[in-house]
Structure 1
Amino acid sequence: MNTYVLMSDAKNFSNDQPINPYYNKESINCDVAIIEHLTLRGLLEQSGIDVISAPSPTGCQDGVYTANWALVRGDKAVLSSLPNARQSESAYAEKVLTHLGKEVIHVPDGLKFSGQGDALACGDYLFCGSGYRSDAAAQKFAAEALRYKLIQLQTVPQIDNNGKIIINSASGWPDSFFYDIDLALAIIKAPIDGQKGLIAYCPDAFTTASRELLESFDAVDKIIVSIDEAQKGFATNLISSGETVIMSAHAPELTNELRNHGLTVITPEIAELAKGGGYIRCMTLTLN
């Protein structure tokens, strides 16, 4: 699980267009961001995860977040369809994936799809979040193309003081602090050989219907994440090999829970890279 991933680099990273609620207006120290990214890559490799590297695309502020490039299973990759500020990444991502021997599949025209960011594989199951960066129809298409059993979910929107859903000024799309599902849910272990898998998720991040669906889903054990650690600490935006978890340094409760489950937990600091609204999971696209 997550033993073979694609990363780019932080050389073109910026936060010029605030396409999510986490965007930090402070200037980015690109030199520090590059060091953080290299440190993360080193930790992944030390944990037994093979990392394939591709240079980040020029002029793409979010090209460091490869998880949003596609959803991959076996020799197939369903390419994402991203916000305007990120659309220039798509052609580049297609070239990279084709070079890696993947058959690239496009979602139907007009559909939004945030790739792995909004579609987390757990064995044969696919936890998907729609409503902000992805359309449910696109996720159904991806699940069918890659032969996954779809679990369709939705997180709660960002609401203004008048109770109205906030529309992001840069993308023109509805916004959420959990705009991608990897900000609300994490796959820790996949079900295997009759044993349950393990996920971590924040119930308060999901709509009532989605929360009830997760509560009743019996193929995995569950660790509950607080809204504070999910929203302020990027707790679930992690990568797990099934034995080692690399995650936020700002989610001590989840860190302790994972260690109590016998997992090795590593918590690097990535303060500069977080200024773009992404974290550890966002920077790794699983290829296996």
Structure 2
Amino acid sequence: MSDHHEGQRVSRRSMFAGVGSIGLGTLLAACGSQAGGSSTVTTSTGESASVTPQTATDATDLFAGTNTCTLTPDTTQGPYYFDADKIRADIREDREGVRLRLALKVQDSETCAVLPNAVVEIWHCDAAGLYSGAEDQSSGGGGTPPGPPPENGERPGGGPGGGDQDLVPTDDKRYLRGAQVSNAEGVVEFTTIWPGWYMGRTVHIHVMVHVSNERVLTSQLMFDEELNSAVFARQPYAAHTGRDTFNDGDNIFEDSMLLKVAQDGDGYLAAIVLSADSDKDGA
């Protein structure tokens, strides 16, 4: 990817910089009242800010290969979800790792119509297997022993936030967490790093879709194991040894969760279509 295009992405991200403190509640309310295009929200300082959804036109070919109206599998949100209050595209902060541009297209599972103005959140661990807001728990501290997870596919949270309850953060870190608003084509794009791994789970990214202030999809995104192996041979991933769970042994993995991935300069571009039950009628 050229410096010119990288600058364009930074410019688009800057439009969200002023709304990073509005929180999902305000953002969801604003997006729920919009039919398309940009949304206007009020920040905590009382100022108005325009939230202009991103585009990911260079992911078109990848989306074409993943176009489906089949309902995306709903999964546990795991013990490490909370509203990180970060409306942003670049979620890396100080985390080192292989750059990953993630393009997600949201559509209705019944009509196949794209869903503009949906709020899409992602969160995942860093190269060492740690989650921001829960570094102690995700490292095996906080009363949570390291080792294989229970049958729901996630380790217990060691207190509030375990299972599918929202986590009460135990540290002030917010890396590798963020939310974006889908554009007129139903697309959001994030810049992050390739996730690491932790005991008992394959490599994954958590994703949650909100429509009209409702959580309509909670799922996980996975990667081809050949690509995982190639990435984990590089630093800082190579310093984290002893991986014990792969896609074929993970109790949440499904083929439909696999991202379509292409080389993107010194990193990767990954894309998938998420088909959500936007009216929550079970179809």
Report which of the two has the higher share of helix.
Answer: 1
TM-score between the two structures when normalised by the length of structure 1 = 0.26
TM-score between the two structures when normalised by the length of structure 2 = 0.27
